[in-house]
Structure 1
Amino acid sequence: MIYEALSCLTSEMNDYLKLKLSATEDKIVLSGLVNPDGSMAVQGENKVLLTLVNLEKETATRKTTIPNKATDMNINMYVLFSAYFGSSNYAEALRFLSFVVGFLQQKNVFTRTNTPRLDKNIQKLIVEMESLTSERLNNLWGTLGAKYIPSVLYKVRMLTYDEAVLREFRPEITGVGVNEPS
């Protein structure tokens, strides 16, 4: 469910940027920021990384009680959009971050009606910008183990987590290669 929600957001934003900028390549990448060894997790530069940084249980919802059945749990996801552009391309990083904010300002609710690619098990996603104090921002980047780059944090609300609809993700096989002896 988490992957489906975030990959949908990534695809929607890439479609928006391709239309807005007449671009051909994806600029938004669903990825962590750094590998365990401290190196950047994404090859190349000039991308906006969408990174899940936290999950929390939504406590403001009503609970339904069904005997002998665990109730669904609503969770909120905190996602960080980080503009990973080269140092000589700082202005472009800010430009792309502005596109992210603009897109999520004009479309902050995702339903199957306005987002046909939204997984059928997800009713709605509500996206809200989060404000961080300098101290919280410093703690976030320190926890991530990365140097600060231009970024914005969003809360994605109310993903209903139901274990019954979880499924294994298997990447699509795009080709079969055979290594011939040389």
Structure 2
Amino acid sequence: MVYEALELIRSELETYVKPFADGITVNLGSIAAVAGTQANTILIGLVHLEEEATLKNTSPYQRNSITGGFDVRNPPVFLNLYVLISANYSGSGDYETALKLLSRTVQCFQQKNQFTVANTLTDKIFDDPQALMLRMTVELHSLSFEKLNQLWGTLGGKQVPSVVYKVRVVEEQAEGQFGAGTPILSFEGIRKPVPISSE
């Protein structure tokens, strides 16, 4: 689901930016790999992901509506993605364009911050049927100067106008189950006599 989530974001951003700037492309990729080679491009790259701890305690038992029993499978993993969106440019004259693209990016996700396959225009057809159930929220994530410096140092490229967004919550679930069972509807046990105290 990570690819599907980032592709929905890419598609929405490209749809939003196109009317304001001709010839601008929005791509998925690492800024470290293409720095300076793709002028006037908005680049979306995954820089970190984490598990959403508040959704971790889900049961491995899921009711099967067809059999009336239970299916046993590992619970899904819910992920938060940290995404770096960079306005890439080549020459000094394009810096102004990069700043405008960055501003449009912030406006795009301020205007719409909840995404599903149903509410996003995309030309991609996802192979995974679970993609149709994808729901996520995009929120601005502010980094301190120190963390921003560390991020760009790790990426190994020159710093360009950019913004970091936190994409919450992407669900990952492997196919298949580990077992099945029937529910316990009644319990018949052996009754022990209760001793009567003689007081």
TM range (shorter): 0.7 to 0.9
CA distance in 1, matches of 2:13, 2:108: 7
Q: Which residue of 2 aligns with 1:8?
A: 8
Q: Is the 8 A contact 2:76 2:171 kept in 1?
A: yes
Give ranges in structure 1 of 5+ residues lacking alignment.
166-182
> For 1:109-128, what aligned pairs fall within 5 Å after superposition?
109-115=114-120, 117=122, 120-122=129-131, 123-128=134-139
Aligned match of 1:106 in 98, 108, 111?
111
- TM-score w.r.t. the length of structure 2 is 0.72
Partner of 2:181: none
- Cα distance in 1 for partners of 2:6, 2:139 equals 14
Aligned to 2:83, which of 79, 82, 85? Answer: 79
1:142 to 153, 167, 180: 153
Instruction: Report how far residue 41 of structure 1 moved.
Output: 5.7
CA shift digits 1:84-143 (9 cap, x unpaired) = 112221111100000000000000001234226495524311000001110010011111
CA distance in 1, matches of 2:139, 2:161: 18
Q: What is the rounded CA distance, in whole Å, between the counterparts of 1:42 and 1:5 in structure 2?
A: 26
Quote how far apart the aligned CAs of 1:164 are.
2.0
Written as runs of structure 1 = structure 2, the 5 A alignment for 1:22-61 is 23=22, 25-35=23-33, 40=34, 43-61=37-55
Q: Secondary structure at the residue paired with 1:152?
A: strand
Residue 79 of structure 1 aligns to a residue whose secondary structure is strand
Deviations 1:63-100 (A, max 9, x none): 22125421101001000011111222111110000000
Identity of aligned residues (%): 38
Say which SS state the counterpart of residue 57 (structure 2) adopts: coil
Q: How much is the aligned-residue C-alpha RMSD, in angstroms?
A: 2.1
Q: Quick one: higher RCO (CA 8 Å, sep 6+), 1 or 2?
A: 2
In 1, Cα distance between equivalents of 2:36 and 2:98: 15
Q: CA deviation at 1:8?
A: 1.6
The unaligned stretches of length 5 or more in structure 2 are: 62-71, 177-199
Larger radius of gyration: 2
Conservation of the 8 A alpha-carbon contact between 1:45 and 1:85: yes
Output the amino acid matched with 1:46.
N
CA contact (8 A) 2:82 2:167 kept: yes
SS at match of 1:3: helix
TM-superposed CA distance for 1:22, in Å, is 6.5
Q: Which amino acid aligns with 2:30?
A: G
**Number of residue equivalences:** 159
What letter matches 1:108 in structure 2?
N
In 2, Cα distance between the equivalents of 1:71 and 1:62?
A: 8
Secondary structure in 2 aligned to 1:121?
Answer: helix
CA distance in 1 between partners of 2:42 and 2:141 (Å):
18
